[in-house]
Structure 1
Amino acid sequence: MSVTDVTIDENNLTVTVIADLAHPVERVWQLYTDPRRLERVWGPPGAPATFTEWDFRQGGRALYYMTGTRDERYWGRWDILDIDPGHSFQVLDSFADEHGEPSTALPASRMSFVLEPAANGPRFTLTTTFETLDDFKKIAQEMEMTEGLTQAMGQADAVLDGLRQTYQGRVAHLEVLSDTWVKITRAIEAPRTLIWRAYNDPEMIRRWMLGPDGWVMSECKVAREVGQTFRYVWTTDPAVPRQQGESFGLEGELLLRQVPFRAVTTERMLGTEGPETVNDLTLVEEDGITLVTTVIEYPDAQTRDMILGTGMIEGMEHSYARLERSLLAEPV
């Protein structure tokens, strides 16, 4: 789903996002009306959605929350206003508490989801309408609503195509989301529970999280509970003929742990005060393949470019390839 136009209309108090589709309208309709599938595209990277209620009928409601990197939850509520099956639906979108009570501090808006044929294929239009100019400025501008919607909708193709078709055979892939956010994806032929073990079992970590050949992990301290710290140290392998005595390490704190699909940590070079990043790891399994996604938040664009310039993505691919090979011998 390629976002082709974003229009912010202050006069009409609307934000309109248009996306061209490479899939039949029927499949996209199913995506946006099935809560388990919708969870994979409604929240932006770094704040995935979980729907706890789903009564999709006129007069019904849906309740959801988005989980941030420090386990903060942002609750929302949809009151279903109108449904034209296979074509459109409209909701009143409100900020809410965990019981579904609408917020009195933040305004609600009317959202219209429309699927229709267009000259170059199917088109998806999401229009958000606000009641007042103050509401419009607070949500659409101050809270960077359009950026979040665009990033969320950009996740739809992988769900519609399927993970195997989208990612199989592709090496670690970097996507720059903003000045301070990047996303790295890599699909691995293994079940999610096994990959989760590989990220949390020190013995397994030592076998694959090594980057390019010629390094060994000399220290591996894993954080297993929120608030605990991890510490990884790599040194040159004495068995490999190269310059000896090189070493480096990473350390950080576990901020969020949701077994077996999400873990968020801070990370910085060992022995330094920064710069610190926030690394958000998620594992999604489908059809025997698991998509490993790491969303990294940097303090600024300069730090982002400095770290990416070290060859980080290439090193991650070496590790992922080694992980995939090593998991072939592991029991499920």
Structure 2
Amino acid sequence: MPVTSVSTDAEALTLTLVAEFPVPVERLWEAFAEPRKLERFWGPPGYPSTFGEYDFRAGGAAHYRMTSPEGEAFYGLWKFGAIDAPHAIDLVDWFADANGVAVPGMPASRMALRFETTADGCRLTTVTNFDTAADLEKVVAMGVIEGSTQSMAQLDTVLADLREYALGKGTQVELIDDVHVRITRAFEAPRHLIWRAHTEPELMRQWLLGPDGWQMTVCEISTAPGGSYRYAWTPGDPALGPGFGFEGENLVIEPERRLVSTERMTGLDAPGTVNDLSFAEDGGVTLLTLYITYADLAQRDMILATGMTDGMETSYQRLERELLPIG
């Protein structure tokens, strides 16, 4: 966890976050200076940001939205003050509406981001100043400490060389908490191809099969927001067990970047999951990240115990073998 401390000062009206990273300070600076990199971590898991306007200069502005797994959008507005690469960024941060207009009555804050070299890499210190104690208390109550900590935790992946960080390591599983799991898998392929492999039925039928011996008999998918999907598999050998299927609805669709959907087993009267699938490309490597929300701890453990991730890795290897060579 890169965050080393988070503290508030009721007298100074400040919130201070300190995080350290094992990379040169210039690489950390780039993560804030380039909006496509900033989008990969600015926002806690399940609430990634999308920056429309990003005028990174003194006097410039940035307008962004955070989109929840249910598709609800939350907007923010930045106005940049002094910028001293790669050492300092000063900005004013407002809650905003969809048009980039600050929302009256919501707390505004002034953020000072400082980047410095350390013996082991670099350090980021962010000091946020508020106008009143009530404003500070309000944003803390809204979860800014937890959200900021979770956002900074995602920076490790952005700062890393994906070839060294994830390529060749297979399907990786991280238990976030009782009801959230993060699964990652890297591919040496462009993002558009990995997106197609997850959204075009004729391609999905070639690799999304799990263990050998199964065939995908139903693959119906709509990539429109609010659309639905239905998948089914049948074993070639009855000894492998009965067939099964999944179905659900799309909640968020951002082509080649994010696909959020519900998932439930066909014919089973039980709670489903929310699957938040994101695609990030860097240096010719695409990192696929699946952030799953379960109904409770029991469901999480039950599903993981089925060998789900082993089946995913078998399918991903098939994807690499069957689809990537032909591009």
What TM-score do the two structures reach when normalised by structure 2? 0.91
Residue pair 1:191, 1:290 contacting (<8 A) in 2 also: yes
Match of 2:19 in 1: 19
Match of 1:280 in 2: 276
Letter of the 1:40 counterpart: R
Residue pair 1:43, 1:49 contacting (<8 A) in 2 also: yes
Identify if the C-alpha distance between structure 1 residues 227 and 98 changes in structure 2 by more than 3 Å, giving closer, same or farther.
closer
1:284-295 to structure 2, matched below 5 A, reads 284-295=280-291
When structure 1 is superposed on structure 2, of 20-29 and 80-89 the one drifting more is 80-89
Q: Residues 98-140 of structure 1, C-alpha deviation per residue, up to 9 Å, x if partnerless?
A: 2221111421122221112346542111222333333223211
Q: In 2, Cα distance between the equivalents of 1:121 and 1:26?
A: 10
Deviation, structure 1 residue 12: 4.2
Q: Residues 285-309 of structure 1, C-alpha deviation per residue, up to 9 Å, x if partnerless?
A: 2222211111111223332222222
Residue pair 1:174, 1:184 contacting (<8 A) in 2 also: yes
Deviation, structure 1 residue 195: 1.8
Secondary structure at the aligned position of 1:271 is classed as coil
Residue pair 1:190, 1:327 contacting (<8 A) in 2 also: no
1:294-313 to structure 2, matched below 5 A, reads 294-313=290-309
Do structure 1's residue 223 and structure 2's residue 222 form an aligned pair? yes
Q: In 1, Cα distance between the equivalents of 2:116 and 2:192?
A: 39
1:162-181 to structure 2, matched below 5 A, reads 162-181=161-180
Residue pair 2:262, 2:272 contacting (<8 A) in 1 also: yes
Do structure 1's residue 30 and structure 2's residue 30 form an aligned pair? yes
Q: In 2, Cα distance between the equivalents of 1:315 and 1:4?
A: 37
Q: In 2, Cα distance between the equivalents of 1:326 and 1:256?
A: 28
Secondary structure at the aligned position of 1:42 is classed as coil
Segments of 4+ moved more than 6 angstroms: none
1:228-307 to structure 2, matched below 5 A, reads 228-238=227-237, 243=239, 245-307=241-303
Match of 2:96 in 1: 96
Number of positions where the alignment pairs a residue of Structure 1 with one of Structure 2:
327
Do structure 1's residue 69 and structure 2's residue 48 form an aligned pair? no
Deviation, structure 1 residue 186: 0.3
Residue pair 2:22, 2:120 contacting (<8 A) in 1 also: no
Q: Residues 195-237 of structure 1, C-alpha deviation per residue, up to 9 Å, x if partnerless?
A: 2221122232222112222322222222232222211122222
Deviation, structure 1 residue 281: 1.1
Match of 1:81 in 2: 81
Deviation, structure 1 residue 250: 1.0
Q: In 2, Cα distance between the equivalents of 1:272 and 1:12?
A: 55
When structure 1 is superposed on structure 2, of 84-93 and 248-257 the one drifting more is 84-93
When structure 1 is superposed on structure 2, of 316-325 and 145-154 the one drifting more is 145-154
Secondary structure at the aligned position of 1:104 is classed as coil
Instruction: Name structure 2 gaps, 5 residues minimum.
Output: none
Q: In 1, Cα distance between the equivalents of 2:45 and 2:297?
A: 18
Match of 2:108 in 1: 108
Instruction: Provide the identity percentage.
Output: 48
Q: In 2, Cα distance between the equivalents of 1:258 and 1:276?
A: 22
Q: Residues 232-251 of structure 1, C-alpha deviation per residue, up to 9 Å, x if partnerless?
A: 1222222xxx6255122111
Identify if the C-alpha distance between structure 1 residues 290 and 138 changes in structure 2 by more than 3 Å, giving closer, same or farther.
same
Residue pair 2:2, 2:20 contacting (<8 A) in 1 also: yes
Q: In 1, Cα distance between the equivalents of 2:43 and 2:30?
A: 17
Q: In 2, Cα distance between the equivalents of 1:119 and 1:72?
A: 42
Backbone CA RMSD of aligned residues: 2.1
Q: In 2, Cα distance between the equivalents of 1:57 and 1:190?
A: 33
Residue pair 2:25, 2:121 contacting (<8 A) in 1 also: no
Instruction: Name structure 1 gaps, 5 residues minimum.
Output: none
Match of 2:208 in 1: 209
